[in-house]
Structure 1
Amino acid sequence: MKQNMVASKSGFNDVKSRILFVLFAIFVFRVGSHIPVPGIDYSKLSVIYAQTKTGLFGFINVMSGGSLSRMSVFTLSLSPYISASIAMQFMSYVIPHLEQLRKEGGRGKHKMTQYTRIFALMIALIQSIPMTRMMISMGVVIDPSRLFYIVTAMTLATGTLFLLWLGEQITERGIGNGISVLIFAGISSRFPEGASQLYDMVASGEMNTIVFLLVIAAVIAITAGVVFFEKAQRQIKIMHPSRHQARSASAHSIPLKLNMAGVIPPIFATTLVFMPMSILNMVYGSGQSPFVAAMMRALSPGQPLYIIAMISAIAFFSFFYTAMVINPSEIADNLKRGGVIVPGIRPGAQTASHIDSIIKRITLFGIIYLSFVILLPEVFVRLWQIPFYFGGTSLLIVVVVVVDFMSQLSAHLLPDKYANLVDKPSKTGNKQNLQLFR
């Protein structure tokens, strides 16, 4: 009993230290988002931000945790890493060497991670150049010399690499996926400012009280819907022919989540839709190029082109990511080797085809769900002219990361629950057993 108490206490301390490390990492991230890039006139920058805090600028600013509005060392945030991950996943199906690494398991995954880091550094250096040029074109740079280009490029690239390292430390020493936790921290840090602006609109009469209540109700409804659909599963019943008990046979199943790709499709889709326009805007500036300005307006949230592009990108990445992580033929082979069958389906190719058809159907429903959640708030922004970025992507990421964090926290606490059950006095256990059999 004493050993169980010691194990339970050490397990609780481990969870406590992991939570504290996550909070410390978020604190470091938030402090870093306020460290400015050298050579910026922040009085001019605040005026420009007040004029362009919606649309593309607002979305990038929310995803970076406000770093873009301050031109901090974390201005690029994790977008180079996201772009590198997209490119590496595509190339792993085209380049034979990367395809071989993808199939090698842990060693191959480690190599792929190293390649992704190097690629992310290259993208960060490339993105830092147009970002520096954008700062100069906005007139917020005190001394636009070559030295400013070099220092800013190195600073922004280093900031991205530091965030990548910090995210990996959270994954290893904390709870949850570190990259997702940092994105969550950046998005959630903008919520108080958005809530304050929304309150000011209602207080000044710019927004009707009924509209305000509709916005609050929509946020609550979308949040509840995301939690429900993220926990939704499709159970594929399986059975072992050697077992004759119907009860035990029917209790086994293969669970498939409705949204197996998680927040990957919305993040990748948003990056893919906004990245070309953001690069053009950084290089040319929306005021200098009528074409860029027109495209920026066409791809702003709520516009038809934006909706079509987002739905297409979400559908593509949902099917692509699901096909990458789940192989129906492999599942069918594993079932066949284990002597397990799907009732009414022949083992082998027919089982693989049956599982593949189920995966495609639930992936289609997942695409509809993701598209609705992502695009509905964008329509609200367009209809009610909300003066800050209130997007479905940010709301989805926050809810999904919280749900995943709670699931992993429960997994860490599960051994303690078993230890407490074992540690209960036998007398109490006997009383409970007697009550069960009455």
Structure 2
Amino acid sequence: MKFDKRSPLFKRFWYTIFVLVLIHFLGFITIPGINSKELLNIANNSPLTILSMFSGGSFDTFSIMSMGVTAYITAQIIIQLLQADVIPKLTEWSKAGEVGRHKLDQTTRALTFILSIVQATGITAGINSLTNGRFIINGTWYTYFVISMLMTAGTFISMWFADQITEKGLGNGVSVLIAAGIIAKLPTIVGNLYPSLKCYQGFNWYILIFLVVVFGLITLLIVWFTSSELRIPVQYARREAGTGEESYLPLKIIIPGVVPVIFASSVITIPQTLLLMAKPTQSSAFARIVKEFFSLDTTVGILIYGSMIIFFTYLYSIVQIEPEKLAENLQKQEAYIPEYMPGVSTSEYIKQLLYELSLPGSLFLTFVSIVPMILAHHISTSLQIGLSGSSLLIITGVLVDIGRQIKGLKIKQNYGTFFNKQYEFK
């Protein structure tokens, strides 16, 4: 089969690769006014490690792309929580169709700008404090302002590229950027793993084989679980019964995909970023609370992380599907779910299904995120962040989503070829 270079799939694939390569090169543009070598002295700092992972290593050189889309993700979380009957105006916009979504998007971007400024200033001040003032060459307010604006500009550049990938490339732009960032860090993480597996008898091949088998099985489990769906039968009023055509409404078991994991990973870094900004003493109450409850190195922190994944799974399932709107669309198409009246009854039934699906989906996401993290923590600290279940979930989930989109594009392309051959004038 000849691969058509003019096909939409070909263009989308290479457009995505081009954007990711461009972002990678932008990650080498270091922000002026800082001594990036000082970052080597705090390389094991937990929140900075997570930020570096999400930005594809751009934080290692403190480039303009250092923060990636973390502030944008945080703003999305806040807006989605507030529109759930907390702020009436936001709730009204969420039900106002395309116009309302545009207003929510503008509000999210405005909040992203504010959060980016705060986060950039806090991180810069925190790193300067951790390095005893050697990170900032000239520690004036103007220097902090310029650095914050450059990092904020990098966040909006990342957001724009993410939108371009979603529109013209493959997959969800934000998720693709984060997955690409994690993949870019894998060679470094694997390199750091080698010394951890060495013992007095030589290299420990048994642990390495065990890790490969475990993560391979988890990957297969993730692919199977994320591809599974519940098919709800749907009937149309104008379609005759017994025609042999069956219609159904597919609902994935994990409806929001890897979004809850990304949200939880982003939220867990917020208190740690505030800790960097506040610069409290190690014995202060705030420092002890953050290190105990918002760290992936403690049992309590891991449990809170898992609870956030469960919460965001339930929240984002409702936000993404919108039962009322789905029931309304079915009614407009003169379609209905057997045994349920169109309208409110159908909406309540779909909402109940979403709650039922969110339970196994959220527990699965939590299990896969936490168990490999605990396992890796007892083998090598370099695996704690890099090859944890959360990273594996994000990478695998994004690849499955891209594979599903490619399949849809190929089907659409084949339909076009079929009709062209059938109706070609000779």
Could you say which TM-score interval applies, normalised by the shorter chain? Answer: 0.7 to 0.9
Indicate the residue corresponding to 1:64 in structure 2.
55
**Deviation of residue 41 (structure 1)?**
2.2
How many residue pairs get matched?
A: 415
Per the alignment, do residues 327 and 42 of structure 1 end up closer, same or farther by CA in structure 2, a change over 3 Å counting? closer
Q: Could you tell me which of 24, 32, 41 is aligned with 1:38?
A: 32
Structure 1 contact 375–392 (Cα < 8 Å) conserved: yes
Alignment pair present for 1:20 and 2:14:
yes
Indicate the residue corresponding to 1:355 in structure 2.
350
Alignment pair present for 1:398 and 2:395:
yes
**Deviation of residue 36 (structure 1)?**
1.5
Residues 274-289 of structure 1: matches in 2 within 5 Å?
274-284=269-279, 287=282, 289=284
Q: Could you tell me which of 406, 411, 414 is aligned with 1:414?
A: 411
Structure 1 contact 302–375 (Cα < 8 Å) conserved: no
**Deviation of residue 385 (structure 1)?**
2.8
Mapped partners of 1:81, 1:222: distance in 2: 29
Where structure 2 has 5 or more consecutive residues not aligned to the other structure, the ranges are: none
Structure 1 contact 11–416 (Cα < 8 Å) conserved: no
Mapped partners of 2:238, 2:127: distance in 1: 70
Indicate the residue corresponding to 2:95 in structure 1.
103
Structure 1 contact 286–293 (Cα < 8 Å) conserved: no
1:308 aligned partner, one-letter code: L
Q: Could you tell me which of 181, 189, 194 is aligned with 2:176?
A: 181
**Deviation of residue 81 (structure 1)?**
0.4
Mapped partners of 1:124, 1:163: distance in 2: 12
Mapped partners of 1:15, 1:347: distance in 2: 38
**Deviation of residue 379 (structure 1)?**
0.5
**Deviation of residue 414 (structure 1)?**
2.5
Mapped partners of 2:112, 2:314: distance in 1: 24
1:416 counterpart SS class: helix
Indicate the residue corresponding to 1:228 in structure 2.
224
Per the alignment, do residues 283 and 76 of structure 1 end up closer, same or farther by CA in structure 2, a change over 3 Å counting? farther
Structure 1 contact 302–381 (Cα < 8 Å) conserved: no
Structure 2 contact 280–286 (Cα < 8 Å) conserved: no
Is 66-75 or 128-137 further displaced after alignment? Answer: 66-75
Q: Could you tell me which of 209, 213, 232 is aligned with 1:213?
A: 209
Is 366-375 or 203-212 further displaced after alignment? Answer: 203-212
Structure 2 contact 125–276 (Cα < 8 Å) conserved: no
2:229 aligned partner, one-letter code: Q
Structure 1 contact 235–253 (Cα < 8 Å) conserved: yes
Is 193-202 or 109-118 further displaced after alignment? Answer: 193-202
Indicate the residue corresponding to 1:160 in structure 2.
155
Mapped partners of 1:274, 1:9: distance in 2: 45
1:367 aligned partner, one-letter code: S
**Deviation of residue 10 (structure 1)?**
7.3
1:86 counterpart SS class: helix
2:232 counterpart SS class: strand
- Deviation sequence 1:191-214 (CA, Å, 0-9, x none): 111122223433566873222112
Structure 2 contact 196–380 (Cα < 8 Å) conserved: no
Structure 1 contact 335–341 (Cα < 8 Å) conserved: yes
Mapped partners of 2:335, 2:182: distance in 1: 45
Alignment pair present for 1:267 and 2:276:
no
Per the alignment, do residues 287 and 70 of structure 1 end up closer, same or farther by CA in structure 2, a change over 3 Å counting? farther
1:404 aligned partner, one-letter code: D
1:396 aligned partner, one-letter code: L
Is 174-183 or 138-147 further displaced after alignment? Answer: 138-147
**Deviation of residue 243 (structure 1)?**
6.2
Q: Tell me which protein shows more helix as a share of its residues.
A: 1
Indicate the residue corresponding to 2:319 in structure 1.
324
**Deviation of residue 187 (structure 1)?**
1.0
Where structure 1 has 5 or more consecutive residues not aligned to the other structure, the ranges are: 427-438
Structure 2 contact 293–304 (Cα < 8 Å) conserved: no
2:171 aligned partner, one-letter code: G
Q: Could you tell me which of 106, 129, 133 is aligned with 1:137?
A: 129
Residues 368-407 of structure 1: matches in 2 within 5 Å?
368-388=363-383, 389=385, 390-407=387-404
Per the alignment, do residues 18 and 72 of structure 1 end up closer, same or farther by CA in structure 2, a change over 3 Å counting? same
Mapped partners of 2:238, 2:138: distance in 1: 79
Q: Between the two structures, name the one with larger relative contact order (CA 8 Å, sep ≥ 6).
A: 1
Q: Could you tell me which of 71, 86, 89 is aligned with 1:80?
A: 71
Indicate the residue corresponding to 1:114 in structure 2.
106
With structure 1 as the length reference, what TM-score do the two structures score? 0.85
1:87 aligned partner, one-letter code: I
Indicate the residue corresponding to 1:434 in structure 2.
none
**Deviation of residue 58 (structure 1)?**
2.3
Is 295-304 or 197-206 further displaced after alignment? Answer: 197-206
- Deviation sequence 1:290-325 (CA, Å, 0-9, x none): 751563255332522123212221222111111223
Mapped partners of 2:219, 2:302: distance in 1: 21
1:384 counterpart SS class: coil
Report which of the two structures shows the higher radius of gyration computed on alpha carbons: 1
Structure 2 contact 34–136 (Cα < 8 Å) conserved: yes
1:408 aligned partner, one-letter code: Q
1:262 aligned partner, one-letter code: G
1:135 aligned partner, one-letter code: I
Per the alignment, do residues 178 and 355 of structure 1 end up closer, same or farther by CA in structure 2, a change over 3 Å counting? closer
Per the alignment, do residues 349 and 168 of structure 1 end up closer, same or farther by CA in structure 2, a change over 3 Å counting? closer
With structure 2 as the length reference, what TM-score do the two structures score? 0.87
Mapped partners of 1:73, 1:288: distance in 2: 33
Mapped partners of 1:399, 1:29: distance in 2: 21
Mapped partners of 2:283, 2:142: distance in 1: 25
